[in-house]
Amino acid sequence: MQVIRAPRFSGFCGGVKRAWTIALRTRAVTEGPVYLSGELINNGPAMHELEERGLSVLRVIDGEVPAVPGTLVMRAHGESPVTFARAQELGLPIVDATCGIVRAVQQKAKALEESGWQVILYGHHDHPEARATIAYTQHGLIVDSLAEAEALTSFERIAALAQTTVLLADYDQICEVLKTKTSELANHGQICAWTRMAQEEAAALALECSVVVVVGGRGSSNTRRLVDVASEHVPTYLVETVEELEPGWFQASSVVGVCAGASTREGDVASVMARLETLGQEMNVRTAE
């Protein structure tokens, strides 16, 4: 068995690395409790580690910030203006770990609406980034699918935006439908470069392999897109941790590609790589016997 890792874009992206560092540094230098406004990143095992290291998750929904006695770290996906305002009203010290790319999309959504555009964002209704971004507008809409885009009424001018982790090809299809809903469509969609390149790498890796393992959180949008991309070519399995690897997925002749979502810790990728190497050696020994 041969094991190949996606060479450049697997594991923590810049935005996650920054949020992780900010959260842990805040914990280290702050007296009293430190809270996260929600899951800092979409990865269960990584969030478990942060909780073990003294960061508590508040899970703020729609600006309902509880009156807690501590510092509040805003997560990488961003939070709504209502959440920031409520935390300020409560006098909570705020540390903002919003990814700069997400912050730019939020500001763009607000500015476009103020200039008279109907903002329509392609993203997932239940995803914290999409919800927080659209909360910077008064009338912005999220569309999650082609069917939802087709069901829209018409608007004078539409400004299209995208959740930073969606597939570019899917977003382009949504824009084609939006063109039929207005005489003026401005395309401002910005898929994060890390996400795009990770998807390209996953597709290229899948072409070289007979099976792909994606390491990452089940709730992570960018991780699920890697699964979508790789599974177009070969059987693809998503694991959060090494314990979930099933030996039955592989054969001695397998060429296994490993890639990882933007919120996957290096240790989780390394453990999966090491386990696959061991499995491969065991299979080679059995084949030789």
Residue 22 touches ligand SF4, criterion: CB under 6 A: no
Nearest to ligand SF4 of 95, 242 (CB atom)? 95
Which one of residues 133, 137, 163, 165 is an interface residue with ligand SF4 (CB under 6 A)? 165
Between residue 129 and residue 148, which ones bind ligand SF4 under the rule CB under 6 A? Answer: none
- Per CB under 6 A, 261 contacts ligand SF4: no
Q: Is the dihedral of CA 264, 268, 274, 280 positive or negative?
A: negative
By CB under 6 A, residue 200 contacts ligand SF4:
no
Backbone φ, ψ for residue 276 (5° rounding):
-65, -40
If one asks whether residue 185 binds ligand SF4 (CB under 6 A), the answer comes out as no
Measured from the CB of residue 132, what is the shortest distance to ligand SF4 in angstroms?
12
Residues 6+ apart with CB under 8 A from 36: 23, 50, 55, 56, 57, 58, 72, 73, 75
Q: Which of residues 221-250 bind ligand SF4 (CB under 6 A)?
A: 222
Nearer to ligand SF4, 11 or 257 (CB): 11
Q: How many CA atoms lie within 13 A of 213 on its CB side?
A: 30
129 catalytic, yes or no? yes
Is residue 71 classed as helix, strand or coil in its secondary structure?
strand
Residue nearest ligand SF4 by beta-carbon distance: 15
| Calpha distance 42→212 (Å, rounded) | 21
Q: Please tell me whether residue 178 binds ligand SF4 under the rule CB under 6 A.
A: no
User: Interface residues for ligand SF4 in 26-55 (CB under 6 A)?
Assistant: none
For ligand SF4 (CB under 6 A), the number of binding residues is 15
- Measured distance CA(271)–CA(112) in Å, rounded: 45
CB atoms within 10 A of CB 281: 11
Report helix angle 44-52 to 14-29, nearest 10: 20
Q: How far is CA 35 from the centre of its chain?
A: 21
Residue 116 Cβ vs ligand SF4, minimum distance, rounded to whole Å: 27
Which one of residues 83, 195, 220, 223 is an interface residue with ligand SF4 (CB under 6 A)? 195
Residues that bind ligand SF4 (CB under 6 A): 13-16, 76, 99, 101-102, 164-165, 192, 194-195, 222, 262
Q: Which residues are catalytic?
A: 129
